[in-house]
Amino acid sequence: MNRTALKAGAAVLAAAAISLFAAGSGGSAPATPTGGTRVVFLSSQLNTVPESEAMRKIILAGYRGDVDFVNTTADNVSARMRAEAQAGRGSVGLVGDVDVNFTFYRNALSNVSGVAAQLKSARIPKRFLALGKLGSKQQLMIPWMQATYIMTANRSALRYLPKGANVNDLTYAQLLQWAKNMRKATGRGRFGFPVGPTGLMLRFLHGFLLPSFTGGVLTKWSSPQAVQAWQYVRNLWQYSHPQSLQYNNMSEPLLSGEVLVAWDHVARLKDALQRRPNDFVTFPVPRGPKGRAYLPVVAGVAIPKTAPSRAASVALVKYLLSLNSQARTLGAVGFFPVRGGKLSQRLGPGLLKMVATVRKQQNAKKVTISGLPIGLGTQSANFTRVMVETFVRIAVRRESIRPVLAEEKKALQTIMNTVNAPCFKPDPPSKGTCQVR
């Protein structure tokens, strides 16, 4: 190679290297600002890919500020919040989580009573705001969105309702009679439960069935009322569709007509309601001897004490609670609004029907609010297994109720002891590990 060319090449390279180095250290390409109006929104909700994409592209698109939506597991959220609180400074401006999870890092959260006062016009139900106090006197969390479980029926099934039954105020006994009538008329069980491997049957059992009959969950496990509850669901199974053991999502069987009346999570019923809103009606869950128990899953937002810019965080909270954002959230990810107000007709008749039922259910008078189990951690899948196994053994395999309850009671107690989990609603709060009685 020509020596001159080599020298020239080396000189060019050196010049390029020096100029790059100078540019880098000169700070001409700034890193992401840690302060300013950019809010880091750490959330354990809307974790799936389509949901988080919807959050960024649709829901947050209406917000004029800068938001970095970061989602991760609930455990990671808790760990990060506690770490930032301990360090005394952090980058998270807003944290979103399920209501029960906030208790794990309550010390990291700031008082947002002022923000709640500013949101009075949103008419968030008092019950939900009370959840946001996390057992203290301060408002530590603002409800953000909710999900719950309702019933849906094919319009053609309404003619089989027992005489005198009001579909918006059914009792479990009337539901059973309705299922019987459908079976007689069609020759098949037409009531459906989501008992498939990823179905949410667990929630029906501990959030709806058991509390409606016994007033509790684990503390009333072996009570005579519990035996009645399991007897009831065994009877109901006779008039239910056998494929329920395969259904994970009730929209499909409702749409295909295999099932005429179903119970499921709103997100899983959404599909049927949106596709054929005129064919389906939604209505609140029935009430049992001890009242109408239902399980609202309330997600909330909280501002950490270490938030870089409180003003920016508050602005984001106000946006998330605005009618615009709540409507977008419902349309995009199927989580329901916590605020009052007339929602846009553009959501479509199906979703608006569901909102009406969710509001009816939440505003009903004698209602028992159930809660999600707290602190099960690694045992939550085991807990699901035990509950669903109890159902399958009693209702499907028709084993004797009391011996099954006694066996599963031992399994449940082992689970609670392994993680020292406290009792959860509607059981009264326990000091220490919940005792299954």
Partner 1 sequence: MATEAAAVPAQRLRRREGAPYWLTLPAVLYLALFFAWPMVQAFRLAFEDPSGGWSLAPFHGMVNDLDFDRALRFTLLFVVVIIPIQFALALAMALLVNARLRGRGIFLFIFVIPLTVSDLTAGLVWSTIFTELGYLNTVLERVGILDRPVIWIDPQKPNLLLSEVVVAELWRSTALVVVILVAGLQGIAKEYTEAAEVFGAGFFRRLRHVTLPMLKPALQAALLLRIIFALEMFAAVIAITGRSATTLARQTYEWQQTYHDEHIAAAYASLVVVLSLAGAIVVLATVRVRREQLG
For partner 1, the binding residues (CB under 8 A) are: 187-188, 195-197, 241-243, 245-248, 253, 256-258, 378-379, 381-382, 385, 388-389, 392-393, 396
Cβ closest to partner 1, residue 135 vs residue 257: 257
Can you state the percent helix, strand and coil of the chain, rounding each to 5? Answer: 55, 15, 35
The distance of closest approach from Cβ of residue 181 to partner 1 in the complex, given in angstroms and rounded to an integer, is 18
The distance of closest approach from Cβ of residue 184 to partner 1 in the complex, given in angstroms and rounded to an integer, is 15
Q: CA–CA separation, 71 vs 294, rounded Å?
A: 28
- DSSP labels for 357-380? HHHHHHH-SSEEEP----S-GGGH
The distance of closest approach from Cβ of residue 320 to partner 1 in the complex, given in angstroms and rounded to an integer, is 33
The distance of closest approach from Cβ of residue 388 to partner 1 in the complex, given in angstroms and rounded to an integer, is 7
Instruction: Give the β-pairing of 142-147 and 191-192.
Output: unpaired
Cβ closest to partner 1, residue 34 vs residue 378: 378
Cβ closest to partner 1, residue 76 vs residue 246: 246
Cβ closest to partner 1, residue 279 vs residue 389: 389
Residue from 420, 415, 393 nearest 405 by CA = 393
Cβ closest to partner 1, residue 212 vs residue 384: 384
The distance of closest approach from Cβ of residue 351 to partner 1 in the complex, given in angstroms and rounded to an integer, is 25
Q: What are phi and psi of 226, to 5 degrees?
A: -65, -40
Q: CA–CA separation, 409 vs 29, rounded Å?
A: 62
Cβ closest to partner 1, residue 52 vs residue 248: 248
Cβ closest to partner 1, residue 105 vs residue 204: 204
The distance of closest approach from Cβ of residue 408 to partner 1 in the complex, given in angstroms and rounded to an integer, is 10
Could you give the angle at the alpha carbon of 416 between the alpha carbons of 293 and 102, nearest 5°? 65
Q: CA–CA separation, 360 vs 129, rounded Å?
A: 18
The distance of closest approach from Cβ of residue 375 to partner 1 in the complex, given in angstroms and rounded to an integer, is 15
- Cα 201–chain centre separation: 14
The distance of closest approach from Cβ of residue 50 to partner 1 in the complex, given in angstroms and rounded to an integer, is 19
The distance of closest approach from Cβ of residue 206 to partner 1 in the complex, given in angstroms and rounded to an integer, is 18
The distance of closest approach from Cβ of residue 245 to partner 1 in the complex, given in angstroms and rounded to an integer, is 5
Torsion on CA atoms 246, 249, 251, 256, rounded to nearest 10: -20
State whether residue 30 is helix, strand or coil: coil
- DSSP labels for 160-184? GSPTT--GGG-BHHHHHHHHHHHHH
Cβ closest to partner 1, residue 197 vs residue 432: 197
Cβ closest to partner 1, residue 196 vs residue 340: 196
* Contact yes or no for 71/45 (Cβ under 8 A): yes
Helix (H) or strand (E) holding 68: strand 66-71
Cβ closest to partner 1, residue 58 vs residue 392: 392
Token pair for 28: 């001409």
Q: CA–CA separation, 226 vs 409, rounded Å?
A: 12
Q: C-alpha distances in angstroms, 49 versus 70, 95, 233, 265, 286?
A: 12, 19, 36, 19, 34
